[in-house]
Amino acid sequence: MKPIDALQIYALKTSPAFEAALFAGLRMAGPIDAYAEMVPTFCRHLGVGFQILNDLKDWEGDNNNKLIAGQDAASLRPTLLLALAFEAASPAQRQELEQVVRGDGPPALRLGRLRRVFEACGVFDKAEALVEKSRARAEALADEVQPESLRQLLYFLVDMVLAPENNEPAIATPELLSLPVVAV
């Protein structure tokens, strides 16, 4: 699998859930025609960034999602990290990756080998850069949104969904936003 394939899978995996939730809220607030193009694109960036962040957290053993570091890798799930490693690997590293993917050796040793190759290929840094790119693209879309209360909500979503595990979100104390309610 190539990195672009992983990103396309990620766009189809989580983005629709964000899109459905955001459209549902917008529909309750009033007409959505003005947001028909922005919402799917915004949610695609949000969903892709979320999935990449999830891959990174898998290696940290985050408290919210996974209890054991490297769980996806131990289960040999295809991830963006693995795709990035195959893309950047030297022939020797590629051979090691292929051995890991085949399941050669005990799981703990495979994870150690995989981590070494990931670090040598700069996979974690590349993935973090892609999360930031997703964040920047989502924020650029939010910058163009009116009314201000909706723009603030979109920034809040970006900050909550793409917040690194150990860092506080950019909005330290979220404010409740008052969105207009249209009687039907």
What residue spans define the domains of the chain?
3-161
pLDDT at residue number 182: 56
Concatenating the DSSP letter of every residue in 30-94 gives S--GGGTTHHHHHHHHHHHHHHHHHHHHHHHT-TTT-SSTTHHHHTT---HHHHHHHHH--HHHH
pLDDT at residue number 153: 95
Domain 3-161: state its class.
mainly alpha
Mean pLDDT by 10 residues, the chain (184 residues): 94 94 93 94 97 91 56 75 96 93 83 93 97 97 95 96 64 52 55
pLDDT at residue number 170: 44
Query: Please, are residues 23 and 105 in contact by the beta-carbon 8 Å criterion?
Result: no
pLDDT at residue number 70: 66
pLDDT at residue number 115: 93
